[in-house]
Homo-oligomer: A and B are copies of this chain.
Amino acid sequence: MSPARLEAFSDGVLAIIITIMVLELKVPHGSDLTALYPLCRVFLAYVLSFIYVGIYWNNHHHLLHTVKRVSAGIMWANLHLLFWLSLFPVVTAWAGENPDAPWPTALYGAVLLAAALAWLILQRAIIASGGVLRRALGADWKGKLSPVLYLSGIGLSFAVHPWLGNLLFATVAALWIIPDRRIEAHLGIEG
């Protein structure tokens, strides 16, 4: 199997995930502004998940770019990643509908964590098959820091308030969007 086909299939799945998430934004009952209030938090959760899928889509491309030949290990590691990403719509909706309860936000964080670990597994499968990925990754401080932040977010959702957990999850997303090359280089030296 060529990397191009793995990428096309993954792109298809990601395009569907990012789009069906919106199906969880249920059409409001009622026709005035107050009917939109319950949707506000689901909307915010949708925005965050949309950004996350966008980040994964973008980085997934760079990751597969280093692959020469798709082994069975890479294929299943990739499907494993897509599996956790496919859970985004349902956990996004549950967290968005229950912003004050710790469990929904914690489960959202747990799926983010599982996707992050699946990402690391996919990286290892690609490194094991050779190629230039190991050197390109460097210390990979983002990949290592993210699971810690997800775990902290889950803990804070129970200990303090789900909003703090969500704040941490949004922070991780911001870390991955901002092309912070200096910090990356700096931590790359220290790591």
Interface status of A63 (Cβ within 8 A of chain B): no
- CB-based nearest B residue for A72: B179
Question: In the complex the two chains form, is B22's CB within 8 Å of A19's CB?
Answer: no
Cα–Cα distance between A8 and B45 once the two chains are bound (Å): 26
The interface stretch among A85-93, A129-137, A145-153, A167-175 is A85-93
Number of copies: 4
Contact among B31, B58, B72 for A101, CB-based, below 8 A: B31
- Collect the chain B residues with CB atoms within 8 Å of residue A89's CB: 22-23
Question: In the complex the two chains form, is B12's CB within 8 Å of A11's CB?
Answer: yes
Cα–Cα distance between A32 and B86 once the two chains are bound (Å): 22
Cα–Cα distance between A8 and B18 once the two chains are bound (Å): 15
Question: In the complex the two chains form, is A107's CB within 8 Å of B15's CB?
Answer: no
Question: In the complex the two chains form, is A31's CB within 8 Å of B93's CB?
Answer: no
Contact among B13, B27, B57, B179 for A90, CB-based, below 8 A: B27
Q: Pull 5 A–B residue pairs with CB atoms less than 8 Å apart, ordered by A.
A: A5-B11, A25-B87, A27-B90, A50-B79, A76-B177
